[in-house]
Amino acid sequence: MDLLDQLADTFFNWEEMAKVIPALLMVGLPNTLILAVASGILGSVLGLALAMMGISRNAGARWVARIYTDIFRGLPAILVILVIGIGLSPIAREITGSRNPYPLGILALTLIAAAYIGEIFRSGIQSVEKGQLEASRALGFSYGSSMRLVVVPQGIRRVLPALVNQFISLLKDSSLVFMLGLAASDREIFRIGNDAMANTGNLSPLVAAGVLYLILTVPLTHFVNFIDNRLRTGKPEKKEPDELAAPIGKGAQA
């Protein structure tokens, strides 16, 4: 029983957990969300630009998108975060006058996310039938308007599940910015759990951090399944009144 008690104390020491929970919720959670949401949005914008370049008729644009994607998809996230976070800090200090590596963490996460999201968007946009662009152009829309109004909205819709998966991945990867040595108020969920673990020598704070990640990510994975299903089977359809009225009318007459 000693061993079991010891294990329970290592992972589920409620006292240590309770001590770290306020910081996890008040500091870690907002910071993780800021890192993930900011880089998710910026990464989507940059990713969409990369996707448009990737399908462009301009070979130069395709080439740039290709090389960018190969580099940022091919490197470990932690390496990119360190290189950007440390390498660009003198420039960032010059521009913003701040030594805070937090914005650089967002930048690094954005650059990585954009490479993946760009590929997701590109595959979605390319899956839209050629006739859609043709029909839109035949109405008199320019190439740009046709893409914006007709092709891209359909392409994005088709890859929403993959996009949400990418956001889940981003949420988890945001933990890697701990490498940049953030100020106490800027620390995200993992770093707070990790600090508390280091201070107490007990793993329970890290377990609490893990539970908090699961609370964020598990609903998202189920959300993916939901939209995936919805995209495949469509909205539950409403019967139209006249279709219903016909058989009812016949019944009434008989």
Partner 1 sequence: MTEFASGTLTGKNLHLSFGHNHVLRGIDLHVEKGTTASVIGPSGSGKSTLLRVMNRLIEPDQGDILLDGRSVLKDNPDELRQRIGMVFQQFNLFPHKTVVDNVSLALRKLRKLSKEQARAEALEQLDLVGLKHKADARPANLSGGQQQRVAIARALAMKPEVMFFDEATSALDPELVKGVLALMTDLAKGGMTMVVVTHEMGFSRNVSDTVTFMDAGVVVESGPPEQVFTAPRTDRLKGFLSDVL
Measured from the CB atom, is 94 or 237 closer to partner 1? Answer: 237
Measured from the CB atom, is 70 or 134 closer to partner 1? Answer: 134
What Å distances lie between residue 78 and 107, 177, 244, CA to CA? 13, 8, 60
> What does the block give as tokens for 107?
């930048």
Please state the closest distance from residue 165 (CB atom) to partner 1, in A.
22
Cα separation of 48 and 110, whole Å? 12
Q: Using the rule CB under 8 A, which residue among 26, 70, 83, 134 binds partner 1?
A: 134
Q: 89-96 and 77-87 helices cross at what angle (nearest 10)?
A: 50
**What is the footprint of partner 1 within residues 29-58 (CB under 8 A)?**
none
> Which of 45-53, 82-90, 146-154, 206-214 is the region at the interface with partner 1 (rule: CB under 8 A)?
146-154
Measured from the CB atom, is 12 or 141 closer to partner 1? Answer: 141
> What does the block give as tokens for 167?
């956001």
Q: Using the rule CB under 8 A, which residue among 60, 74, 97, 131 binds partner 1?
A: 131
Measured from the CB atom, is 78 or 135 closer to partner 1? Answer: 135
Q: Is 137 in the site for partner 1 (CB under 8 A)?
A: yes
- 231-234's contacts with Cβ under 8 Å and 24+ in sequence apart are 231/157, 231/158, 231/160, 231/161
DSSP symbol at 132: H
Measured from the CB atom, is 2 or 242 closer to partner 1? Answer: 242
> Which of 39-47, 70-78, 112-120, 148-156 is the region at the interface with partner 1 (rule: CB under 8 A)?
148-156
**What is the footprint of partner 1 within residues 211-250 (CB under 8 A)?**
234, 237, 240, 242
Please state the closest distance from residue 177 (CB atom) to partner 1, in A.
37
Instruction: Confirm if 60 and 69 have CB atoms less than 8 A apart.
Output: no
Measured from the CB atom, is 105 or 124 closer to partner 1? Answer: 124
Cα separation of 151 and 78, whole Å? 35
**Nearest by Cα to 31 from 203, 164, 165, 183:** 183
Please state the closest distance from residue 187 (CB atom) to partner 1, in A.
42
Residue 35 burial by CB count (10 A; 0-12/13-18/19+): exposed, middle or buried?
buried
Residues of the shown chain interacting with partner 1 in the complex, contacts defined by CB under 8 A: 129, 131-132, 134-142, 145, 149-150, 153-154, 157, 234, 237, 240, 242
